[in-house]
Structure 1
């Protein structure tokens, strides 16, 4: 059977201590009565999670952990002792994070980013903060400007490293335009700015490429509508004014309003921009005689 994974099983025998299940992948495992549905009967089929108890025996439960073996997770520390930390992962039995698998001092209430694995020596499920060895370097399924889920796992003075979609690793380089603060375990969304040939990912917290242009265009249109259809920003405006008003560089601003102009949505004037007047749809007669059609 697959330790640390969900398995389909059938109730084979009922005993005072619980239900013995025949697991689809092979083997027999106990589902304690306290972890079983009230109306479970012999022959019933159900999905269970397989873990190992304190004596090294496989045990089944209908509880669902936040993550399984082979997955990354952000988990909270429940307790710490001389041999390691114990993490809340959604089961009554906490997940063990051995002291040798920690990257720093942990205290109850801390969040940590871990990879869950089966210990080769004891066959027990454990966690490790040393996650870099398990990160997927094959980024062929990703593309520039893609929106992704991010989890902070390392913070330095000039960069932050994130788990990307709980599978890859990406780096955000910090500069004066980024005012956010970051802590281990913070979750959010971002965008892929670049993917190098070696699989390293550069990240942005703002949309890039096509998505950035679309978001910026929508933002300018909303500001125009809120201002009554006209804004005093043009080619003569300073980069600082444009940055403060729209959060865009002057080059990006000119590119976006150029696109809006070509779409017929705005007019570009010497002293600013304004909404283009709405065009009335051209009306055609419902029927056109052949004679009139030729004359047209």
Structure 2
């Protein structure tokens, strides 16, 4: 049977200690009565998770772990002793993280990013924080600007490495735009793919990139204009530092965004700054535009 996975099973016998199941992959396993659904009868079928008890015997449960063998997970440390740590993974029996599979000292309450595997020597289900060997480098299904789920697994002075979508690895380079952010192992959130490297690594951003970034920046500028009464003193003469501090954009990106807003008729750009376009000004602007050709008879 497949230890560390869900199995489809049928109740073959009922004993005082519980229900003996015949699993689809072959074999017989006990589902303790305390883990069985009410009203279970001989011949009934159900999905169960198979793991090993404290004596190394296969046992079934209807509890659902947060992840199974072959998957990544962000789990909380419940206890620590001289041989390792014990993680909460959704079952009554905690998941063992051996000391040799840890990347640093852990205490109860810590969160860690782990890969779950079957120990080749003992056949027990264990976790490892040494996840790099299990990360997927085939990024053909990903694309630049894609929104992704992130979990911090390594923090350095100038970068943070994330588990991406519980499958890939990505790096966020720390700069002025992230100076107010703090990162700890096990933190989770969302980000965006900025670049996809040939080696399967991803470069990440915490803000939208590409088209989505432009749209979000345009909305932010319009909101700031409305809050300021319709006028903001930013123009071509504004310094890159002023623009970065106010909008979180480079001067080049700022000019691109406000240019788009001007073409949409949402703002006007003057020497003294930018302002929300009024309806009368919009009508005046369009009244001087070239008339459209009539293609009806062509």
TM-score, normalised via structure 1 length: 0.90
Cα RMSD for the two superposed structures: 1.8
- 1:252 aligns with 253
- 1:101 aligns with 101
- 1:75 aligns with 75
- Give distance in 2, aligned partners of 1:251 and 1:102: 45
The equivalences for 1:39-188 within 5 A come to 39-179=39-179, 180-188=181-189
- Give distance in 2, aligned partners of 1:232 and 1:174: 30
- 1:286 aligns with none
Shift of the alpha carbon at 1:270?
Answer: 2.1
Shift of the alpha carbon at 1:34?
Answer: 0.6
- Give distance in 1, aligned partners of 2:100 and 2:228: 60
Offset from partner CA, 1:243-274 (integer Å, 9 cap, x none): 22211111111000111111222222221222
Shift of the alpha carbon at 1:277?
Answer: 3.0
- Give distance in 1, aligned partners of 2:57 and 2:164: 35
Q: Give the SS at the match of 1:34.
A: helix
The answer to whether the 8 Å contact 2:177/2:248 transfers is no
Offset from partner CA, 1:80-101 (integer Å, 9 cap, x none): 2222111111111111111221
- 2:270 aligns with 269
- 1:287 aligns with none
Shift of the alpha carbon at 1:177?
Answer: 2.9
Q: Which runs of 5+ in 2 are unaligned?
A: 284-295
The equivalences for 1:200-215 within 5 A come to 200-215=201-216
Structure 1, 211-220 or 16-25: larger mean CA deviation: 16-25
- Give distance in 1, aligned partners of 2:220 and 2:182: 25
Shift of the alpha carbon at 1:33?
Answer: 0.2
Q: Give the SS at the match of 2:176.
A: coil
1:238 equivalent to 2:232? Answer: no
Shift of the alpha carbon at 1:138?
Answer: 0.6
Shift of the alpha carbon at 1:149?
Answer: 0.8
Q: Which runs of 5+ in 1 are unaligned?
A: 282-293
Q: Give the SS at the match of 2:10.
A: strand
- Give distance in 2, aligned partners of 1:231 and 1:47: 62
- Give distance in 2, aligned partners of 1:277 and 1:175: 38
- Give distance in 1, aligned partners of 2:267 and 2:7: 59
The answer to whether the 8 Å contact 2:22/2:28 transfers is yes
Q: 1:165 to 1:23 in 2, by over 3 A?
A: same
Shift of the alpha carbon at 1:152?
Answer: 0.7
The number of residue pairs the alignment matches comes to 282
- 1:291 aligns with none
- Give distance in 2, aligned partners of 1:189 and 1:89: 22
- Give distance in 1, aligned partners of 2:111 and 2:228: 45
- Give distance in 2, aligned partners of 1:105 and 1:277: 61
Q: Give the SS at the match of 1:177.
A: helix
Shift of the alpha carbon at 1:227?
Answer: 2.5
